[in-house]
Amino acid sequence: DQQVKQNSPSLSVQEGRISILNCDYTNSMFDYFLWYKKYPAEGPTFLISISSIKDKNEDGRFTVFLNKSAKHLSLHIVPSQPGDSAVYFCAARILDGYGGSQGNLIFGKGTKLSVKP
Amino acid sequence: DTEVTQTPKHLVMGMTNKKSLKCEQHMGHRAMYWYKQKAKKPPELMFVYSYEKLSINESVPSRFSPECPNSSLLNLHLHALQPEDSALYLCASSPSRDILDEQYFGPGTRLTVT
């Protein structure tokens, strides 16, 4: 029973165009969301995050949008570059239930982005 | 230095072997994590250490035994593994277990159990 879902296993985009990666979640207790990028033979690298109290966070070419009512977030990459080709993981953190701010990451399955020159 | 290193990169072991995976970071992080990732699946949390104490054990079989000898090192001792334990084992660290601290991942150890 997946709590974080990335329903598109792959996405192909032309260089210079927008890449939109989608992520849905089921647990309304998630309080913080992150995107990680993973190249082959490397571990995931943190890209951008968003707190559940916000609906948008922007960092250079990367923007994450959060729609809490729809339990949906998306990562926009504009403009896309060939070096962006990688697997993108959506992750969510849930509070550990002790009233503190500690949490564990729950990952989606990932979406493989290919940016063609 | 924002790097988490893991050794070895690849490991092939038989079901009767004992081996260890090692993870190291020198960022002063006080939380360290072991994840397991099977092909085309998301990383799944196995263990969390916070200030060198085991904080989370996600019902992992006892054939996996974590150890945190100091704040920079995290080991995963393997004994009597099964072929289905073959996977990529990822180590990560973060400044603390605070929800806002991002986790830095190592490149992983590709484990094959024969």
The model's pLDDT over A38-54, given as tens digits with 9 standing for 90+, comes to 988 788 888 999 998 99
Residue B42: which of A9, A43, A89 has the nearest Cβ? A89
At B84-99, the pLDDT tens digits run 999 999 999 999 887 6
pLDDT score of B2 more than 80: no
Contact status of A43 with chain B (Cβ, < 8 Å): yes
pLDDT value, residue B35? 93
Pairwise CA distance, residues A67 & A65, whole Å: 7
Provide the 10 A C-beta neighbour count for residue A34. 21
Indicate yes or no: CB of A101 within 8 angstroms of CB of B45. no
Q: Do A89 and B92 touch (CB under 8 A)?
A: no
Q: How confident is the model at residue B69 (pLDDT cuts 50, 70, 90)?
A: very high
Residue A91: closest CA among chain B residues belongs to which residue?
Answer: B42
Q: Which residues of A touch B97 (CB under 8 A)?
A: 102-103
**Contact state of A45 with B100 under an 8 Å Cβ cutoff:** no
Report pLDDT for A28.
Answer: 86
pLDDT over threshold 80, residue A98: no
pLDDT in tens, A70-94: 999 999 999 999 999 999 999 998 7
Band the pLDDT of A33: cuts 50, 70, 90: very high
The whole-number pLDDT of residue A12 equals 97
Strands A10-14 and A111-116: parallel
Q: How many CB atoms lie within 10 A of CB B97?
A: 22
pLDDT of residue B1: 60
A44-48, B55-59, B64-68: the lowest-pLDDT one: B55-59
Percent of chain A with pLDDT over 90: 70
Q: Which residues of A touch B91 (CB under 8 A)?
A: 43
| Short-list B5, B1, B2, B3, CA closest to B75 | B5
Q: Shortest Cα distance from A30 to chain B (angstroms)? A: 11
Residue A100 has pLDDT above 60, yes or no: no
Asked if B107 lies within 8 A of A41 by C-beta distance, the reply is yes
Pick from A32, A46, A107: CB nearest B43: A107
Rounded to whole angstroms, how far apart are CA atoms B52 and B73? 9
Residues 6 or more apart whose CB falls under 8 angstroms from that of B32 comprise B23, B25, B48, B49, B68, B74, B91, B92, B93
Residue B106 · residue B23 · CB < 8 Å: yes
